[in-house]
Structure 1
Amino acid sequence: MGSGDGPLLRWAADLRNLRDKAGSPGYRELARRTHYSTAALSGAAGGRKLPSLAVALAYVQACDGDTAAWERRWREVAAELAEPAPRSAEGEQAAPYVGLSAFQIEDADRFFGRDQLVEQVRARVFDSRFTAVVGASGAGKTSLLRAGLLPAIAEHAWPVSVMTPKAHPIEECALTLSALTGATPTLLVADLAADTRAVHRLVRQGLADHPAEADLVLVVDQFEEIFTLCTDPGERSRFLDLLVTATTADGSRLRVVLGVRADFYGHCSRYPHLVQVLQQAQVLVGSMTTPELREVITRPASLAGLSVESALQATLCAEADGRIGVLPLVSHALRETWHRRRGNALTLAGYHESGGIAGAIAHTAETTYIALTETQQRWARQLFLRLVALGEGTEDTKRRLGRGELDLEHDDAVAVLDQLAQARLITLDHDGIEIAHEALIRHWPRLAGWLTQDREGLRTHRQLTDATTVWEGLDRDPGALYRGTRLAIARDWSDSAPDRLTARERAFLHACLDAEAGERAATQRRSRRLRQLVALLAVLFLLAVTTTVYAVHTRTATAEQRNAAIAKNVAVEAIELFRTNQDLAAQLSLTAHRLAPTAETRDSLISTLATTLINQPHEIYSVDFSPDGRVLATASGDHTVRLWDVTGPRIPDELASIPNATSTVFGVDFDPRGHLLATANGDNVVRLWDITDPRHPIELAAIPNANNAVYGVTFSPDGRTLATTSFAGTVRLSDVTDPRRPTELTTLTGHTSVVYSAAFSPDGRTLATAGEDQTARIWNITEPRRPIQLAALTAHTGSAVYGVAVSPDGRMLATAGNDNTARLWDITDPRVPAELATLTGHTSGLFGVDFSPDGRTLATSGGTTARIWNITDPRHPAEQTVITGHITGVWSVSFSPDGRALSTSGWDRTARITPTDTDELIARACDHIRTRLTPTEWNRYFPAITYDPPCPPR
């Protein structure tokens, strides 16, 4: 049990302990002694509901227990279960989970799972004056700072101020310091803009009445906003100078804590003075361990007098384990499950009804959106598009929106804001609106579709909105109006989307058009005068010829620079377009690579030329080719295994969908003959299927795995043995010679936590396993019923090992870890493995690893990329290809039997098959193009470049 298990689970556990002390009599024997059914007695100790007093006392008496003591215990548990959960001020029962919203300081009593990290940050703050707390979006940085760090600092009676930079960080800093000093924010803004020592001086003045050892702790949450929302480089640099100066000056009484998203941490390196103070003061917020996840799941429920079903705990931990940025989704899914609770219990059935981790937020958003009227839906769409800051080489992020940017005079606008806020999709305050969490951007398909439908149009609209704000801030100065190309682009876009402009934006655009008309008239007058000067131009002809040579040279250099910039941008956009328009994406990548043949455009080209793209409703955990390479199996979070015919071109045919009605399917594997398929399921069962006819799979057997979800399955090379890995930290070997009657051979118990994967050696005598306990292990299974552990590999220090693979010749082992590396090992003598090389390059934890059939290349997956390595010399591996098509985490990789293709899958709900011969792939890129790039499309992506499509007409 976890520390958050409720009274009902503790009762059930103690009842089972009583039976153990009585010699563990079978339930049939207990039924004979008590005259109650075996179902009633097993249910009494099952922990799902409290049994009747009569059944409970009969159970205790049959196990020689103290009936009087147990009767008192039963009444105490019954009373505790009957207590109402905490209620809000309005009388409604308060949810124990905060959902998508970040924890605030008032939520500290229900903030769990981060004790060790809170202490690490607290210690860092007291040791250093400048600390950066770095983590992916959704990793829990804001909650850690507000509900974890602030209460810890408060114990020392130090003053604390919290701010977010927003669009004008100096103004926000002035507002924050005004509360400390009592000065007016307007005066402070002028002071901060004029003197880099202003913050240092103001903090010392504000702390004059505090003890000398007390410092002000300034928490700058969502620090990345200085890059996404602040458009003035000068203000950004000034703000950083103020913070660095105030923490490094003699007599400093300020300590700064930055909360910054990991994908923006690289932006900090552009400021040398910031780099200097951050060198030794960084805390990385990673994914939670399984025990920490259990605390997050169970402790808030226990405090509210609720219990969390064990099956729900196991499912949540399995689906969230190792995923960066999943915490708000877990909290939201738990909040939605709480709404569907059964009495005082949060159940797995309620969790599935809510849509699960990825589906709960999408379900909430979609349900709220559909409930709006048609007019309100149009307004809601415009609102959400304004609330997203489009990424430039990074993921899209949320954008804080000032109320002045919207037309709020309509009743529909107010109604939409209220309904979205009640659903906790947005947060409102007196002057601004923002999305509750960026998880909504990634997991609501409707919003993702809006964002990809016309990204260029969204950028045009955002630029128009910013220009309107600047124009109004300059008292409608004509010099701030659009002219030329910018005005033409804005006018064309507004003509196609007139209902998306606010009144202030329309006023700005009309002023631009009026100014253009006036300038055009003035230009015509000047033209008449210029014609009179034609004679003079003839005299200057010789000078013009001389300068032309220089101009041509300059224009060529400028064109090359322009082409490189355009190619870089188009390469990124092509990857995003691949999901919706493969022909367009491939031709854009080809043209970009032709304009600027760089590694970046080549990777984009390879990613958009993948010959097969599979889309499913949920994340795809595992992929595997059949031995003949004609069928691909995918295991998915939508509770299915699907079989695909991948012999044709780009779009595969679905042959069959194998349902698993109750839980996620984590793993899948074909036997060496291709007649059997094994599936690993979150409902604690391994299933074997006859796929002789892949269009009509037949279930042959179901192998139970006690009460633990199964992560992975793999057949031995002779197909007679099946290895399964589980959430319980065990590996089970089963004899499947007769697949209709599998028998258990043994259970390997060396790991101390979740085992993610296993791999046989080619001769079937050795097994390698990888687990959460930060080790990979090697076993001798020559005699499967008496396995022997040969070695434990611990090089992936401090991180889980997710993937493991053995080379075709059996001499090498590859491991993939959460420390962003893969490692190669010489296992010629498996008792003494020797590390050959460490493969670096991924920027996130690695999940999958696979050798090519010839053993000359290795594929790894992690973050948003898969990479192919040349390991001809295993001591000096070289990166060969980066596959960048996926938009979120890539979970698994699998080579085809002939090694000519690589399949990848991940959290973006897609599987891709990419040929490994990239030179041939590029040479034949136009073979599958059906619709040629049009002049309109060309001009949109390659302005000012002569129309020259890469593929000939068909």
Structure 2
Amino acid sequence: NSTVAPSRDTHKQKNMKRYPFKFLDAYTREDKDIFFGRDEEVERLYEMVFQADLLLVYGASGTGKTSLIQCGLARKFQSHDWLALNIRRGDNLNKSLDDALRAAAGDAPDDAPGWLGEDLSSDSPSATALSPLARRFRAIYLQHFKPIYLIFDQFEELYILGNKAEEQAFVQTVQEALRVKQPVKMIISIREEYLGHLYEFERQVPELLRKKLRVEPMNLDKVKTVIQGIGSLPQSNVRLQTGKETAIAEAVFHQIRGGEKSLTIQLPYLQVFLDKYYLHCTGDERRQADALFTLDKLKEMGGLGDVLRNFLEEQVLLTARRLEQPPDTIWQMLSLFVTLEGTKEPLSEEELRRRLPEGVPAALASQVLEAFVSSRILRFSESQLRYEIAHDTLAKQLHARRSDDEIALLEVQRLIRSQVAIKAEAREFFTGKQLDFIQPFLPKLRLSEEEREWIRESKRRRAELEEAEERRQREELESTRRRLRIVRGLLGLALAAVLVAAYFAYDATQKKDELKEANIKTQQALDNYLEADSLRKVTEIRNLESMANNFLNLNQKELAVRVLQEAFEKDTTRQDIRRRLDTLSSE
């Protein structure tokens, strides 16, 4: 029995009763009647809005940061006090922001005469012409006369999919937005594991971390508030067994938590579980029938294990059977919507087709997209014309299924695309190691012609460098051989000179033998004297060296130096003593 997630059209019923579960969709202002369990966080965030113009909301994936802002905070404002512009990165965060501002400004002109065209901010030493961004904010304000709230959702995408230039441009925009005269508030929502990436941002904009709110996972008390609130809602088509409301909420919490000892659960798991609970009670996949949640029905469900993983596996198998494709092919296609880091990566249908593994027909893309949008695993953004995984918790499940080969393939894809995305004049060729890493995966990749050409260019460049290196080595070897030939020639000349000299020396020696014989006795006497003197000098020098060693052992370096100097004066040919003196002097 496969579980099909609710379609958007089933949330509002003909009898005015409403299916109260959002599944993996975020809550919005229109869902304020069914949004429970976050009153404390909403109040804190509401207070912060009036204390600062830049706020940071962070927390783990699945804690409901988006719903907290777009529903919890939004419902605190009257419509005339709240102009919210929800901004995701898309292709580029700065472009997405500009598009949102243009849409909000409508037909209002950016330029205005007289004092409206002056910068009257407190930081401005004198009235100066407004910047384009300031004019845009002014145009929006004059169009709506409401405080502007720029809500940057899933801000971690800037650091996962963006680049340094995009980051710096956005930082400069924030700096400028903080100086404008109009009421502009900025709320940045980010997964807490990416807080470290904000270091450079915070260094340039110190206000970034001054007002921040951490969104915690749902504990038992909050889960009770959610379930009991939904059960008591007049327009809800879900009711709880009378007198068992608390017991049902506790049982749901413990069922989702399973064998873990955690004190909290993730919201996506709660939403998927409650949807399964409803289907088990009613069997109505249109989500229109009234449901009564009872403890007996809950017990009948038994242990569901990881409800999110099970739901994902059910839908993949169902889609594979429907499209007559191997399940692995469907898993691979879904995996394309997840980054190497395990976060969502929005793709258009054309981008999905380009990234399909070799052997997967491109026509399959539209069928898979339709199937997973229907089952609510994927959602389509009308503004960005892109599909994305419905929630980061699903992205984590997909990431966990990847094999080492799949991860390596994704690394190769990122390496190629990140390099080719740079302007041709600024690109660097792939290194030899990178080409060796890429080569085994090329048959599995569906690359654009530009990407293939850059790989070919890199290979040509590598071949040129290797050829140049071989040529350099050959030239160096030839140069070495030439030097050896020259040395051999010089050695031959030297040997000939020695032989000639030896001949003349022999002749001269013969003539000098008689004279030498006469001087032998005198020389022997002189040698005996010199030998005795030399032995005496050697003994004295050895004694002085020994004395110096003793001084060094006693850390008396100055005395050791003095003794060694005396030893060197006795025999200036002793270069070893000279070197010891130099060493001691330099220490």
What is the CA–CA distance in structure 2 between the aligned matches of 1:492 and 1:346, rounded to whole Å?
55
After superposition, where does 1:728-877 map in structure 2 within 5 Å? Answer: none
Q: Structure 1 residues 512 and 198, CA, compared in 2 at 3 Å: closer, same or farther?
A: same
What is the CA–CA distance in structure 2 between the aligned matches of 1:357 and 1:280, rounded to whole Å?
43
SS of the residue corresponding to residue 340 of structure 1 reads: helix
**Among 266, 288, 294, which residue is 1:326 paired with?**
266
> Greater shift after overlay, 325-334 or 511-520?
511-520
SS of the residue corresponding to residue 139 of structure 1 reads: coil
Per the normalisation by structure 1, the TM-score is 0.41
What is the CA–CA distance in structure 1 between the aligned matches of 2:27 and 2:93, rounded to whole Å?
23
After superposition, the C-alpha distances for 1:729-779 in whole angstroms (9 at most, x for unaligned) are xxxxxxxxxxxxxxxxxxxxxxxxxxxxxxxxxxxxxxxxxxxxxxxxxxx
1:449 match: 401
1:440 match: 394
Within the alignment, does 1:293 sit opposite 2:223 as a pair? Answer: yes
Query: Could you say what the CA RMSD is over the residues aligned between the two structures, in angstroms?
Result: 3.8
After superposition, the C-alpha distances for 1:250-278 in whole angstroms (9 at most, x for unaligned) are 52421101111111123213334456103
Structure number with the higher helix fraction is 2
1:514 match: 456
After superposition, the C-alpha distances for 1:475-534 in whole angstroms (9 at most, x for unaligned) are x77956645322221111234xx2xx23xx153553245335544665687579758854
What is the CA–CA distance in structure 1 between the aligned matches of 2:34 and 2:194, rounded to whole Å?
29
Paired amino acid for 2:52: S
2:160 match: 228
Within the alignment, does 1:398 sit opposite 2:344 as a pair? Answer: yes
Q: Structure 1 residues 250 and 170, CA, compared in 2 at 3 Å: closer, same or farther?
A: closer
Within the alignment, does 1:147 sit opposite 2:67 as a pair? Answer: no
Q: Is the 8 A contact 2:32 2:75 kept in 1?
A: yes
2:313 match: 366
1:267 match: 197
After superposition, where does 1:513-662 map in structure 2 within 5 Å? Answer: 513-516=455-458, 518-519=460-461, 534=476
2:42 match: 118
What is the CA–CA distance in structure 2 between the aligned matches of 1:94 and 1:410, rounded to whole Å?
39
Q: 1:177 Cα deviation (Å)?
A: 0.7
Q: 1:418 Cα deviation (Å)?
A: 1.7
2:181 match: 251
After superposition, where does 1:686-701 map in structure 2 within 5 Å? Answer: none
Q: 1:97 Cα deviation (Å)?
A: 0.3
**Among 429, 445, 468, which residue is 2:381 paired with?**
429
After superposition, where does 1:701-720 map in structure 2 within 5 Å? Answer: none
Q: Is the 8 A contact 1:134 1:284 kept in 2?
A: yes
Q: 1:348 Cα deviation (Å)?
A: 4.5
Within the alignment, does 1:218 sit opposite 2:150 as a pair? Answer: yes
Q: Is the 8 A contact 2:48 2:211 kept in 1?
A: yes
Per the normalisation by structure 2, the TM-score is 0.64
Paired amino acid for 2:69: L
Q: Is the 8 A contact 2:220 2:264 kept in 1?
A: no
Paired amino acid for 1:255: K
Within the alignment, does 1:417 sit opposite 2:369 as a pair? Answer: yes
Q: 1:300 Cα deviation (Å)?
A: 2.8
Paired amino acid for 1:404: E
Within the alignment, does 1:239 sit opposite 2:170 as a pair? Answer: yes
Q: Is the 8 A contact 2:53 2:184 kept in 1?
A: yes
> Greater shift after overlay, 351-360 or 254-263?
351-360
What is the CA–CA distance in structure 1 between the aligned matches of 2:370 and 2:378, rounded to whole Å?
9
Structure number with the higher strand fraction is 1
What is the CA–CA distance in structure 2 between the aligned matches of 1:508 and 1:353, rounded to whole Å?
57
Q: 1:173 Cα deviation (Å)?
A: 0.8
Q: 1:448 Cα deviation (Å)?
A: 1.7
After superposition, the C-alpha distances for 1:369-422 in whole angstroms (9 at most, x for unaligned) are 11214636344222222222233xxxx322222333221874422222122222
Q: Is the 8 A contact 2:232 2:239 kept in 1?
A: yes
What is the CA–CA distance in structure 2 between the aligned matches of 1:366 and 1:293, rounded to whole Å?
26
Within the alignment, does 1:462 sit opposite 2:406 as a pair? Answer: no
Q: Structure 1 residues 252 and 376, CA, compared in 2 at 3 Å: closer, same or farther?
A: farther
After superposition, where does 1:187-206 map in structure 2 within 5 Å? Answer: 198-206=132-140
Q: 1:178 Cα deviation (Å)?
A: 0.8
What is the CA–CA distance in structure 2 between the aligned matches of 1:122 and 1:266, rounded to whole Å?
26
Q: Is the 8 A contact 2:346 2:386 kept in 1?
A: yes
Q: Is the 8 A contact 1:481 1:511 kept in 2?
A: no
Q: Which runs of 5+ in 2 are unaligned?
A: 1-9, 109-128, 283-289, 355-360, 484-587
2:517 match: none
Q: 1:99 Cα deviation (Å)?
A: 1.0
What is the CA–CA distance in structure 2 between the aligned matches of 1:355 and 1:169, rounded to whole Å?
45
Q: Is the 8 A contact 1:375 1:412 kept in 2?
A: no
Within the alignment, does 1:344 sit opposite 2:296 as a pair? Answer: no
Q: Which runs of 5+ in 1 are unaligned?
A: 1-85, 185-194, 542-954
After superposition, the C-alpha distances for 1:338-371 in whole angstroms (9 at most, x for unaligned) are 1111562124455566676753222221111112
Within the alignment, does 1:159 sit opposite 2:58 as a pair? Answer: no
Return the structure number with greater relative CO, CA threshold 8 A, min gap 6: 2
Paired amino acid for 2:435: L
Q: 1:98 Cα deviation (Å)?
A: 0.8
What is the CA–CA distance in structure 2 between the aligned matches of 1:196 and 1:353, rounded to whole Å?
66
SS of the residue corresponding to residue 397 of structure 1 reads: coil
Q: 1:224 Cα deviation (Å)?
A: 1.4
Q: Structure 1 residues 273 and 216, CA, compared in 2 at 3 Å: closer, same or farther?
A: farther
Within the alignment, does 1:490 sit opposite 2:438 as a pair? Answer: yes
1:136 match: 60
What is the CA–CA distance in structure 2 between the aligned matches of 1:508 and 1:144, rounded to whole Å?
43
Q: 1:147 Cα deviation (Å)?
A: 1.4
What is the CA–CA distance in structure 1 between the aligned matches of 2:202 and 2:482, rounded to whole Å?
50
Paired amino acid for 1:489: F
What is the CA–CA distance in structure 1 between the aligned matches of 2:14 and 2:442, rounded to whole Å?
46
What is the CA–CA distance in structure 2 between the aligned matches of 1:196 and 1:131, rounded to whole Å?
25
Q: Is the 8 A contact 1:198 1:242 kept in 2?
A: no
2:541 match: none
* Number of equivalenced pairs: 428
Paired amino acid for 1:494: L
1:382 match: 332
SS of the residue corresponding to residue 127 of structure 1 reads: coil
SS of the residue corresponding to residue 142 of structure 2 reads: coil
Q: Structure 1 residues 129 and 533, CA, compared in 2 at 3 Å: closer, same or farther?
A: same
After superposition, the C-alpha distances for 1:16-47 in whole angstroms (9 at most, x for unaligned) are xxxxxxxxxxxxxxxxxxxxxxxxxxxxxxxx
Q: Is the 8 A contact 2:218 2:265 kept in 1?
A: no
SS of the residue corresponding to residue 389 of structure 1 reads: coil
Q: Structure 1 residues 126 and 203, CA, compared in 2 at 3 Å: closer, same or farther?
A: same
SS of the residue corresponding to residue 433 of structure 1 reads: strand
Q: Structure 1 residues 379 and 323, CA, compared in 2 at 3 Å: closer, same or farther?
A: farther
What is the CA–CA distance in structure 1 between the aligned matches of 2:464 and 2:326, rounded to whole Å?
45
